[in-house]
Amino acid sequence: MSPRPGFMLEVDRSTPPTLFWHGEGFHLERLPEGSRVLYGPEPLEALADPVSAIRRALFEPLGDSAPLPELLRPGMRLTIAFDDVSLPLPPMRRPDVRQLVIEQVLDVAAEAGVDDVVLIAALALHRRMTDAELRHALGDRIYEAFAPHGLLRQHDAEEPAALVLLGETDQGETVEISRRAAESDLLVYVNINLVPMDGGHKSVATGLASYRSLRHHHNARTMQHSRSFMDQEHSELHSSNWRMGRFIAASGVKVFQIETTLNTDTFPEQFRFLQRREWEWTARDRAAFVASSSALARTPPRVARTIFHAIRSPHRMTSVQAGEVEAVHARTTANVYAQQLVEVDGQTDVLTMGLPYICPYNVNSIMNPILVACLGLGYFFNMYRGRPLVRQGGVVIMSHPTPWAFSPVHHPSYIDFFEQVLSETTDPLEVGKFEESFATDPWYVHLYRTGHAYHGVHPFYMWYWCAHALEHLGGVIVVGGDRAAVRRLGFTPASTMADALEMATDVVGPGPSITHLHAPPLVMADVR
Amino acid sequence: MKNGSPLGKLRAPLQRARFPWAAPTWPTGMERPAPDRGVGVDYDTQWARRYPARLARAVVLDNLTRPLAHAVAAPAVIGEEMLKLAEQPVILAANHASHLDTPLLLSVLPLPMRHRTVVAAAADHFFDRRWKAHLWAGALNAIPIERHRVNRRSADMAADLLEEGWNLVIFPEGGRSPDGWLQPFRGGAAYLAVRSGRPVVPVHLSGTWRLLPKEARRLHRGRTAVRFGAPLHPDPGEDARRFGTRIAAAITTMADEADSDWWTARRRAAAGVTPPGTGPVAAPWRRAWALGPDPASTEDEDPGRWAVRVGSR
């Protein structure tokens, strides 16, 4: 049976309560009659033979690119860059898509007699991956072949010797990327497109760039003009990356782009109910929900976090395409939309969302309050095309425990940002005045380069990610969150969803229309 | 069962259970997937009519269901002799107000008819799960009938069973009365009678709604009456619609008889002034009011342990 498309459910008396994620847990909420719930399409069929599909993509590239074997020759410098630990979410079961693709690329390179091959994790300003994470993403065979010889590297945006300044775009944007990538005869980028924002020119122009380069599009003004940044046609973030990407190509960097899409089969069998429609829950689903939610309610947060971060998603590949960046990305985006896009009639006064335990920046880590804001107002709010799901001046209600807790290993600069910057202002345009000091702080730079810390400027980017939503919304309410942390974010805490809905009427008026974004699994609204 | 009893204490939370402790309800307008093959109208009840199942059911019906039905419902059986006026198999068309109706009707049928009767039951309610289908097919010799639309498979099965000599109990209203009054009759019984040429015995059950109404969670003791009417044969050339009207009229007349007496009901029927039995068109409370007080609450007389029979055996 082919997967059913997504749809908007109108809640009535017969509708069972709706599942809301709440960090490392979940609960059921009975939404008022007349509310709408946006359900995503069911997971698309996976490729029956992904290895053959990958080889076909390499040998039959899109756009004006030659087949990969024709681009390879003995004595050349080949660099293979790949997306970092922020994709996919949750981390997928082995074999990871990156392993499948890179193994095929390396097979072709071996057949062509290419000796000089380096693999680079395209971190941008993200934290360095651990050895275990690299091994998981690439598989044992690749890891053992490259890591011991120093040929498996992680992009370092703060190592001057490892960067090269290519110049400026016609808009004055500095383009500085990895020297190894820029000076290779061929750069193969292996991408995972989990959301429409990923991929395209953004892969190289962001993933392998320096802070000097990134700041041109990772700022509040750009994000306010990205409506949304999940819709490339209307995203200033993408416009800037596309200018840079074309500039990189014009500078002589030859990029062979490989993009993959995954289905939304997000949770393993024991958590199957998390991606099923509530009225279709079987007795087993209900038993699993009751058992897991009851157990999690009694589990210390640290243990619950460990349990959840051990989840390996059964995501499977639905498409793979390779060749020239823009031709590849056009098809990739269409495939992502096929999996996630749902047509929606009209906006809503109040948008509710249950936020899960994970976002791209806390894999194997703590979801601190800044990341909560980023996931809700950055990612989920922007999962739209056309118009935002919630109207101008509307209210977003997020359900998440929002603990006042940070990982000092992964997010050291977040702690200071939360304490020093957000205590002074929550305006994304104003926080920018603190950016330089965080970005150039030697201690943060040291931790980024030698430890597993996000770059000092990263919390600013998270806050910029919220800029469009903060400008658009009349209020943000967090249900069940740490009240002090929520207030520090500039949001309003509420104890229950009923309280939050009541409080929202102060902003949007009585009898508001309510829409719930039933995610994850990921769903994107095409708002008419 | 008092809620204070140990069993009552155990049962109360189960009755109050809501999703996720109980199965979810289905949002209005959401199309249900096609039921699994093997349930609903596709459920094969053949096994329930084989000898071992019939023997087991006869033992249960005669030694458990029947005494219990008599103890709880104290049925007065009126017009049982009418069953002898028609050659079996027959179609027993009865009004439907309670889940008690089927066991009560089966328990007052004379032998051997009692053990040679199948019951048409709603496929979407009694056969939607495999365990329920097994239970009702085994315990009541139920067969699945599609009640919301014409289903060829259901109709063929019922006609084949009549052909094989099985009597058929059918509730032409298509479901239990929500408030104790009669509901409009559908054409299923008449259609089967016309198709198979078998007679229809109209049956009226009174009092069961007060003992176990729809949505009730507790069973009350009380008195009931089962009235059998004269068998109706479809006239040559009579279509199912016309025949259905006659069946409905016969049951409505018996409902009038239950509220008055046989002679009064017959005279009203002859004059065409039989009350429709569907109750006043008014607010729910007025319809409830018009049903009158529960006879059990106004009579001190002990209804007795066993059946009160009226008429010849």
Q: Closest partner residue to B20 among A14, A28, A280, by Cβ?
A: A28
Task: Note whether A14 contacts B25, CB cutoff 8 Å.
Answer: yes
CA–CA separation, B57 and B49 (whole Å):
10
CA–CA separation, B26 and B4 (whole Å):
33
Task: For the beta carbon of residue A234, count every other beta carbon within 10 angstroms.
Answer: 15
Chain B interface disruption, residue of A2, A18, A33, A278, most B CBs within 10 A: A278
Task: Note whether B24 contacts A11, CB cutoff 8 Å.
Answer: no
Sort out which chain B residues have CB atoms less than 8 A from A286's CB and list them: 19-21, 23-24
B2, pLDDT greater than 50? no
Helices (H), chain B: 6-16, 51-60, 66-73, 101-108, 123-126, 130-140, 152-163, 188-196, 208-211, 240-259, 262-271, 284-290, 295-298
- Please answer whether residues A204 and A184 qualify as being in contact, where contact means their C-beta atoms are separated by less than 8 angstroms: no
- Kindly list the distances between the CA atom of residue A51 and the CA atoms of A54, A103, A323, A450, B127, in Å, as whole numbers in the listed order: 5, 9, 17, 36, 46
Question: Is residue A133 domain-resident?
Answer: yes
How far is the alpha carbon of A286 from chain B, nearest alpha carbon, in Å? 5
Beta bridge partners, A399, equal A354, A479
Residue A523: name the closest of A406, A405, A351, A395 by CA. A351
How far is the alpha carbon of A185 from chain B, nearest alpha carbon, in Å? 55
| A9–chain B Cβ distance below 8 A for any pair | yes
% of chain B exceeding 70 in pLDDT: 86
| A7–chain B Cβ distance below 8 A for any pair | no
CATH of the domain at A122: 3.40.50.11440
Output the tens digit of pLDDT for each of chain A's 528 residues: 689 999 999 999 889 999 999 999 999 999 999 999 999 999 999 999 999 999 999 999 999 999 999 999 999 999 999 999 999 999 999 999 999 999 999 999 999 999 999 999 999 999 999 999 999 999 999 999 999 999 999 999 999 999 999 999 999 999 999 999 999 999 999 999 999 999 999 999 999 999 999 999 999 999 999 999 999 999 999 999 999 999 999 999 999 999 999 999 999 999 999 999 999 999 999 999 999 999 999 999 999 999 999 999 999 999 999 999 999 999 999 999 999 999 999 999 999 999 999 999 999 999 999 999 999 999 999 999 999 999 999 999 999 999 999 999 999 999 999 999 999 999 999 999 999 999 999 999 999 999 999 999 999 999 999 999 999 999 999 999 999 999 999 999 999 999 999 999 999 999 999 999 999 999 999 999
| A289–chain B Cβ distance below 8 A for any pair | yes
SS3 sequence, A31-62? CCCCCEEEECCCCCCCCCCHHHHHHHHHHCCE
For chain A, what is the domain count? 1
Q: Closest partner residue to B26 among A28, A279, A289, by Cβ?
A: A279
Q: What is the DSSP string of A281-349?
A: --HHHHHHHHHHHHHHHTS-HHHHHHHHHT--B---EEEEEEESHHHHHHHHHHHHHHHHEEEE-S-EE
CA–CA separation, A183 and A200 (whole Å):
20
Question: With 0-12 CB in 10 A as exposed, 13-18 as middle and 19+ as buried, what is A405?
Answer: middle
* Angle between helical axes of B130-140 and B101-108 (0-180°, round to 10): 20
Pair of tokens at residue A486: 């929520």
CA–CA separation, B110 and B117 (whole Å):
11
Residue A237: name the closest of A220, A222, A215 by CA. A222
Chain B interface disruption, residue of A4, A11, A279, most B CBs within 10 A: A279
Task: For the beta carbon of residue A187, count every other beta carbon within 10 angstroms.
Answer: 26
Task: Note whether B27 contacts A15, CB cutoff 8 Å.
Answer: yes
The CATH number assigned to the domain with range B40-290+302-306 reads 3.40.1130.10
Question: Is residue A296 domain-resident?
Answer: no
Report pLDDT digits (tens) over B96-134.
999 999 999 999 999 889 999 999 998 888 888 888 999
pTM of the model: 0.72
Question: Is residue A89 domain-resident?
Answer: yes
pLDDT of residue A1: 64
Report pLDDT digits (tens) over B155-197.
888 999 999 999 999 999 988 998 889 999 988 899 999 999 9
Task: Note whether B26 contacts A289, CB cutoff 8 Å.
Answer: no
Classify the complex by whether its ipTM is higher than 0.90, answering yes or no: no
pLDDT of residue B35: 60
Q: Averaged over B24-51, what is the pLDDT?
A: 82
How far is the alpha carbon of B121 from chain A, nearest alpha carbon, in Å? 24
- Please answer whether residues A466 and A378 qualify as being in contact, where contact means their C-beta atoms are separated by less than 8 angstroms: yes
Range of the domain at A90: 52-214+252-262
Q: How confident is the model at residue B307 (pLDDT cuts 50, 70, 90)?
A: very low
% of chain B exceeding 90 in pLDDT: 44
Count how many Cα atoms sit within 13 Å of the Cα of residue B229 in the half-sphere of its side chain.
30
Among chain B residues, the shortest Cα distance to A36 is held by B27
